[in-house]
Amino acid sequence: MLEKIDMKKEVNPADYNERMAHLEIRMGELQRKCKELGIPIMIVFEGFEASGKGTMINKMIQPLDPRGFKVYTMEKENEEEKMHPYFWRYFIKTPAKGRIHIFDRSWYQGLENGKVTPEDVRQFERQFTDDGMVVIKFFLAITKKEQKKRLKALEQDSATKWRVRKEDRQKNKEYDKYLEQYDTMLIQTDTSNAPWTVVEAMEKKFAICKIMTIVVNRLEAAVAEAEAGKPEKILVEEEFSEDLKNGVLQGIDLSLSLEPEEYKKKRKDLQKRLGILHNKMYLQRVPVVLAFEGWDAGGKGGAIKRITQCIDPRGYEVVPVSAPNDIEKAHHYLWRFFEKFPKDGHLTIFDRTWYGRVLVERIEGFATEAEWKRAYSEINNMEAHLVKSGAIVLKFWLHIDKDEQERRFRQRQETPEKQWKITDEDWRNREQWEAYEKAVDEMVVRTSTKEAPWFIIEANSKLYARIKILEIVVEALEKVLK
């Protein structure tokens, strides 16, 4: 995409002021329109060193209402960012509905240093465009000679000298090599949902006109599409097979139990080992994610407590997940979870999880069919990314039968200090038992991966369930930690 372009394109000076004035007014109008329609917009600037990204961004934002945009300069990762999965610092900065977020450098740095693959990048962008986001990507191109000239000019000005790093001069020398690399990158990540625009950036007036024109055109198309109420494409997936329905939860032996004496002994031993492992995790900088799902009153809270009781509170966090708040709702549904993932060496326990998308949101209709159907692969990609970044991810479904649930509901209602735990909603959810069974089946089949397996826990006996979970956690950690 870069090799045959004419980087020296110019704009007719006589037209420039008029065109810009028109584009600026249009940008302001479209920003307000997109805000109204709740369209999130992400604009990425990549390009050669000294190709003028900063200048272009500054010109582009002048007509915008500052209440609705933000510029992110993505320099080298800081300590905190290094201790998170690669996409973390980008994901948490993605715009809410109606906002414009502009990235000066972006996740494409990860392609240069091998932290992610072109496929990872395509999936990363895809999940947002599927969710209605407009992703606009600019690559600013200048010639080797021009780059050399600009770097020199920067160096000769005492106020800007510091901006030129040694590696920039080196990169200028190896311009041809980089041109080729960039070209490959652009080709591999030029998708229909998030296409690249190469900007010939020798002449600044031409470049800003082109950038503004593309933004205006893309936003106009998005507004038109939103106003027309374009139907969502539902992912064509292989139909969920009949044999699998009610399969996963059927083989479970809910009569398994444990005597209190044995429970105590085992618990003590496992908690002690876990305490040691928690220290090792911290020392060896391994992040751990434990995801708990299960029937209401399935015993998630009690099981989680048996894990946290014996470990240092400075190294773990329990994240209880309920309905998203307004700000969370205005983002991609995985955004609020991405924010919470542990940094290296820490443990995060989710009490309910991102699987809400294919459970309660599916069943209650909070997510459309298109949304929950594509969620399986989005979730698999996300968990694979966590694991690739070094995390251990274990997922538990706490399984009880309908009678046991009723027994526990009644018990909660009869115990004064537990009454707050039981609400009408719990009784209502219970009526959907069969729908949940089906959804759980499909979830376990579609998202049990080698990297992030599901464990179905026989939980009619609380003691049995707690020990089984502790065992799984301890064994998984012992396998990895030396």
Q: Which stretch binds a copy of itself (CB under 8 A): 84-92, 204-212, 238-246, 323-331?
A: 323-331
- Nearest approach, Cβ of 162 to a copy of itself (angstroms)? 6
The rounded distance, in Å, linking the Cα atoms of 35 and 40 is 8
Residues touching a copy of itself: how many (CB under 8 A)? 46
The binder of a copy of itself chosen from 113, 162, 243, 260 (CB under 8 A): 162
**Residue 160 within binding range of a copy of itself, rule CB under 8 A:** yes
**Residue 269 within binding range of a copy of itself, rule CB under 8 A:** no
**Residue 317 within binding range of a copy of itself, rule CB under 8 A:** yes
Complex with a copy of itself: residue 44 or 440, whichever CB lies closer: 44
**Residue 283 within binding range of a copy of itself, rule CB under 8 A:** yes
Runs of H (alpha helix) within 288-368? 300-308, 326-329, 335-338, 360-363
Q: Which stretch binds a copy of itself (CB under 8 A): 171-179, 208-216, 252-260, 300-308?
A: 300-308
Q: Is 364 within 8 Å of 357 (Cβ atoms)?
A: no
Nearest to 98 by CA among 375, 323, 327: 327
**Residue 352 within binding range of a copy of itself, rule CB under 8 A:** no
The rounded distance, in Å, linking the Cα atoms of 320 and 298 is 15
**Residue 276 within binding range of a copy of itself, rule CB under 8 A:** yes
- Nearest approach, Cβ of 116 to a copy of itself (angstroms)? 23
Q: Which stretch binds a copy of itself (CB under 8 A): 27-35, 204-212, 373-381, 463-471?
A: 27-35
How many other CB atoms are found less than 10 A from the CB of residue 75?
A: 10
**Residue 368 within binding range of a copy of itself, rule CB under 8 A:** no
Q: Which stretch binds a copy of itself (CB under 8 A): 271-279, 367-375, 433-441, 448-456?
A: 271-279
In Å, how far from its chain's centre is CA 107? Answer: 12
Residue 9 buriedness (CB in 10 A; 0-12 / 13-18 / 19+):
middle
The answer for residues whose C-beta is within 8 angstroms of residue 412's C-beta and 6 or more apart is 297, 418, 419, 421, 422
The binder of a copy of itself chosen from 12, 17, 73, 117 (CB under 8 A): 73
**Residue 38 within binding range of a copy of itself, rule CB under 8 A:** no
Cα–Cα distance list, 65 to 69, 165, 189, 317 (Å) = 7, 34, 31, 38
Q: Which stretch binds a copy of itself (CB under 8 A): 57-65, 233-241, 382-390, 428-436?
A: 57-65
How many other CB atoms are found less than 10 A from the CB of residue 290?
A: 25
Q: Which stretch binds a copy of itself (CB under 8 A): 254-262, 325-333, 361-369, 468-476?
A: 325-333
**Residue 180 within binding range of a copy of itself, rule CB under 8 A:** no
**Residue 37 within binding range of a copy of itself, rule CB under 8 A:** no
- Nearest approach, Cβ of 250 to a copy of itself (angstroms)? 32
Runs of H (alpha helix) within 339-449? 360-363, 369-388, 402-414, 424-430, 433-447
Beta-strand pair 41-47/134-141: parallel
- Nearest approach, Cβ of 8 to a copy of itself (angstroms)? 25
Q: Is 9 within 8 Å of 200 (Cβ atoms)?
A: yes
Q: Which two tokens stand for residue 49?
A: 């060193």
Cα–Cα distance list, 238 to 32, 147, 316 (Å) = 41, 51, 39
The binder of a copy of itself chosen from 37, 71, 214, 472 (CB under 8 A): 71
The rounded distance, in Å, linking the Cα atoms of 49 and 71 is 18
Site for a copy of itself in 413-442 (CB under 8 A): 417, 420
**Residue 54 within binding range of a copy of itself, rule CB under 8 A:** yes
Q: 300-308 and 260-283 helices cross at what angle (nearest 10)?
A: 60
Complex with a copy of itself: residue 103 or 372, whichever CB lies closer: 103
Q: Which residues pair with 454 in a beta bridge?
A: 395
**Residue 305 within binding range of a copy of itself, rule CB under 8 A:** yes
Site for a copy of itself in 80-109 (CB under 8 A): 80, 104
Nearest to 361 by CA among 351, 371, 350: 371
Q: Which residue has the tokens 């479970």?
A: 252
**Residue 29 within binding range of a copy of itself, rule CB under 8 A:** yes
The rounded distance, in Å, linking the Cα atoms of 428 and 439 is 17
**Residue 324 within binding range of a copy of itself, rule CB under 8 A:** no
Q: Which residue has the tokens 């715009």?
A: 95
The rounded distance, in Å, linking the Cα atoms of 246 and 228 is 40
The binder of a copy of itself chosen from 327, 411, 414, 423 (CB under 8 A): 327
Complex with a copy of itself: residue 317 or 458, whichever CB lies closer: 317
The binder of a copy of itself chosen from 12, 17, 62, 413 (CB under 8 A): 62
Q: Which stretch binds a copy of itself (CB under 8 A): 74-82, 192-200, 223-231, 405-413?
A: 74-82
Residues that bind a copy of itself (CB under 8 A): 25, 28-29, 32, 54, 57-58, 61-62, 65-67, 70-71, 73, 78-80, 104, 159-160, 162, 275-276, 279-280, 283, 304-305, 308-309, 311-314, 317-320, 322, 325-327, 351, 417, 420
